[in-house]
Amino acid sequence: MVLGCFPSCSRTGYQQIGNTGPRFGVRHLQCILVFFGLAVAYSLRVNLSVAIVAMTDRNASNPDFPEFEWNESVKSYLLSSFFWGYVVTQVPGGYLSAIYGAKYMLFFGVLICSCLALLTPFCAITGGWKTVVVLRAVQGLCQGVIFPSTHTFLSKWAPTEERGRLVGYSYSGSQFGTVVMLSVSGYIASSSLGWPSTFYVPGCAGILWSFVWYFYCSSTPAEHPTITPAERRYIESSGQARRASDVWREVEPRPRTPWLRILTSGPFLVLVLAHCANNWGFWTLLTEIPTFMKSVLGMDIKSNGPLSALPYFAMILLTCVFIWLSDAMKQRGTILPLGFSRKFFNTLGMWLPMLALIGLGYITEGEANVRLAIALLTLAVATNSATYLGFHVNHIDLAPNYAGTLMGITNCAANFMSILAPLIVGLIVWDERNPAQWRIVFFCTAFVYFMGNLLFMLLGRTSVQDWNTPTRTPTATSAAEEREDVAGDRSPLIEA
- Together in a domain, 44 and 144: yes
In a domain, 483, yes or no: no
Output the CA–CA distances (angstroms, integers) from residue 356 to 280, 438, 447, in the order listed. 15, 14, 12
262 Cβ neighbours under 8 A, 6+ residues apart: 268, 399, 402, 405, 406, 409, 467
In a domain, 19, yes or no: no
Mean pLDDT, consecutive 10-residue segments, the chain of 496 residues? 38 41 86 96 86 79 82 80 88 91 95 95 90 92 92 90 88 90 82 88 96 94 92 80 40 75 94 94 77 72 67 90 85 74 94 92 74 86 92 91 92 86 82 84 93 95 88 48 40 32
| pLDDT score recorded for residue 231 | 92
- Together in a domain, 56 and 118: yes
Domain, as residue range, for 295: 260-466
| pLDDT score recorded for residue 484 | 41
In a domain, 9, yes or no: no
CATH number of the domain that residue 127 is part of:
1.20.1250.20
Which phi and psi angles does 97 have, rounded to 5°?
-65, -30
In a domain, 480, yes or no: no
- Together in a domain, 197 and 95: yes
Question: How far apart, in whole angstroms, are the C-alpha atoms of residue 467 and residue 258?
Answer: 7
In a domain, 47, yes or no: yes
- Together in a domain, 231 and 281: no
- Together in a domain, 232 and 318: no
Q: How many domains does the chain have?
A: 2
Residue 288's identity, in one-letter code, is: E
Question: How far apart, in whole angstroms, are the C-alpha atoms of residue 483 and residue 246?
Answer: 13
pTM: 0.81
In a domain, 473, yes or no: no
Question: How far apart, in whole angstroms, are the C-alpha atoms of residue 348 and residue 116?
Answer: 38
In a domain, 181, yes or no: yes
| pLDDT score recorded for residue 237 | 83
Residue 64's identity, in one-letter code, is: D
- Together in a domain, 265 and 222: no
| pLDDT score recorded for residue 254 | 65
